[in-house]
Amino acid sequence: MVSNQAAWSNPVRARLQAGQPVFGVTITTPSVEAAAHAASLGFHFLWVEMEHSPVTLETLRLVVLATRGLPAAVFARVPVIELWTAKRVLDQGVHGVIFPFTSTPEKAALAAAACRYPPVGKRGSGAAAAIRTWPQSGSYPDSADREVMTICVVEEASAVEQIDAIAATPGIDALFIGTSDLSFSLGLRGKQNEPALDRAIARIVEAAQRHGKFLGRPAGTPEVARRHIEQGFLLFQMPTEIGLMELGARQLLEPFGISAVPLGHRALY
């Protein structure tokens, strides 16, 4: 714990505000040891995947405990936008919440309210576990209201039609583009680099920049991340711990003519 006089700043937010990119490794297996090791490898945050993986609330709490004091912050993607889904992960002590399928301004407003205590928001009081692991002593509600990051994933064609109102929502820190689901929603079956998808992404980028929201998207390689940084993106979801294992296997085995397990379709959304 730090002293009452020292205010903790979310390191992910601090880097973004300084115009620096942040990279998160995606955690999809209920291995606390793997998550703790990933938190010490240089990534800025853990993207704990609770929408598409078997990671449970109990595992999330153990990850928060195991990574306490390590460099990477812990963010959790909840399955749906509801007050109770956000409350349950926040009460485990996460530093950010990622909300899927933010398709309307009303859902964006609900996401923002879920991450803040009244009178600003609607978060319920009961964060005893979070208080025990929060990086700052003193007033947890004040610190959490200030430093928890709220990230909304835009991944439906209907959201693009309302993107200006979504991006204008107070309390939303970042818009993250779920490029695979957005492609499916546009009828492209997950294909990337399609004109319709590029146009939708451009509309999201323009709205986010106009309303001062950080921009995020998936990036599987440094080359992809660098290209998107030039477009204004700063928040990146990197491959899963399983994906990193497969990448390592390919690098080790293919020079010997051994075909590693194909990476296949690495759809994150």
CA 38 to chain centre: 15
How many angstroms separate the CA atoms of 209 and 33, rounded?
A: 38
Looking at 52, 211, 228, 265, which residue is catalytic? Answer: 52
List the beta bridge partners of residue 77.
49, 98
Q: Residues 182, 197: contact at Cβ < 8 Å?
A: yes
Token pair belonging to 64 = 């928060």
How many angstroms separate the CA atoms of 23 and 233, rounded?
A: 11
Q: Residues with Cβ < 8 Å from 193, sequence gap 6 or more?
A: none
Q: Give the 3-state secondary structure of residue 7.
A: coil
Token pair belonging to 235 = 């928040």
211 is a catalytic site residue: no
CA-closest candidate to residue 220, choices 248, 247, 197, 201: 247
**How many other C-beta atoms are found inside a 10 Å radius of the C-beta of residue 56?**
11
Active site residues: 52
